[in-house]
Structure 1
Amino acid sequence: MNAWKFCLAAVLFSGVQTVSVASIDFGEKNPPAKPSMVTPEMMAKYAITKQSLDKKPNCNDVTVPLLQAYCERPILNTLDGQIRKLMVELATKQSPYNVDLQKDQQSWLSRHDTCMKDKDLKMCLELSYMERLSQIQAQFELVPKEGPIHYQCGTDKQDAWLTFYATILPAVIVKYNGQVRSAFMGPLSRGVKYTSHELTVIERKKAATISWDDKTLECQQLSN
């Protein structure tokens, strides 16, 4: 596989251009309770003005955990804006995988909001945003890809097609049994394991193990 699969750590911590945060407006008495309710306008009200990139913003006085996360990790604003921009640009476009963009967005928001219960809110939010952005990039083929690669799985040799994408979090889209699912390379996967709430793919040379629902499929790549 290509070298981009082995660059996750650099992407995760420095691959996205961030914006600066300067002043915080504490006048809002009822701040948004969930990540999905934070709009660019709301974040502008709380956080964003132009400031030197070298100057660290002072977020010590922010007490609302959600707002503190956005204050201390400006990349969340950037990722949120990128997703919202794509949702507008792609609203009338057809995905090669025939996905329902709005339905997927609502499903993601439900999972994204569970970050409010996570011990590391900021990292949970960042990874959630990166997964959604990667999913959109892959579903609409906005980045370079490798595949589709043909595999046969199980003793009955059912067909599966895997396509790998050079997304912000390297992604794989699997077509199997008339369905399409996606998974993403995790920080500790070392370039061979992709996971999501609906799919796990462990890639090996000319082979892959796919966890699909309650099935574990051992798959062999067919010769091109």
Structure 2
Amino acid sequence: MSEENIFFEEQFKIRASEIGPNQKATLPAICNLLQEIAGNHARQLSFDITDLRKEQLTWVLHQLHVKIDRFPEWRETVTIKTWPSGGDGIRAYRDFLILDEKKHVIGSSLSYWLILDLTSRRPHRIPKKILDRVPDDTEHVLPITKEKFPELHDIHATRQFNVRKTDLDLNNHVNNVRYIEWALSNLAEEENISEINIKFIAESLFNDSVIAKSGVAETVEDDAKIHELVRKRDEKLLCRAITK
């Protein structure tokens, strides 16, 4: 891959629908922008979701780690820079930097992607034609997480959500950002979350009922919380996240 194609950037103006009461962009809104630019760059590289669907394959987000130093304000323009950053045959990595209007870095993210077989609904090895176009020697903006996420033991709050059609994405399952919204739903209004590391484990479909659980675990830092989403009918774990 040539140097000019490794990096891709877009500008986004923070809209009223993307802010909270403090007039700053919300964490889920930032995650939506990351998802948008990732798809746009993959399309430019000719391996986006529409290209893969021709082979009965699709991209799914396996893990997302986002760390925000400063949330952009309403009507502020941010530049997001992204690039593919290697993989291990099953997972493909993609990094992001978020810059303000003065080109200062205000956030960073590392994402982990899987290719899913649409017929079997199981992970598929990343095709060689994609791996050959992705550099494997670029530095990551955040460290790769190799250890297992701690389990939630001390539950402080729960909330239930019923999956609506508006929660579904192109893969006809619940969009990953909706998982993030639900995971954060148990936090108190005054809690300011600037970092999330979330692992997506299973699909949730239309008419499912999902239980969001939040609390702590003994193995995490004092200011961290653990979140789990569980499908109600069979208690299947859908995702697990750590927030700070």
- The bucket for the TM-score relative to the shorter chain is under 0.3
Select the structure of larger CA radius of gyration.
1
Q: Hey, which of these two has a bigger chunk of helix by percent?
A: 1
- Give TM-score scaled by structure 1 length: 0.24
- Give TM-score scaled by structure 2 length: 0.23
Higher relative contact order (CA 8 A, sep 6+): 2
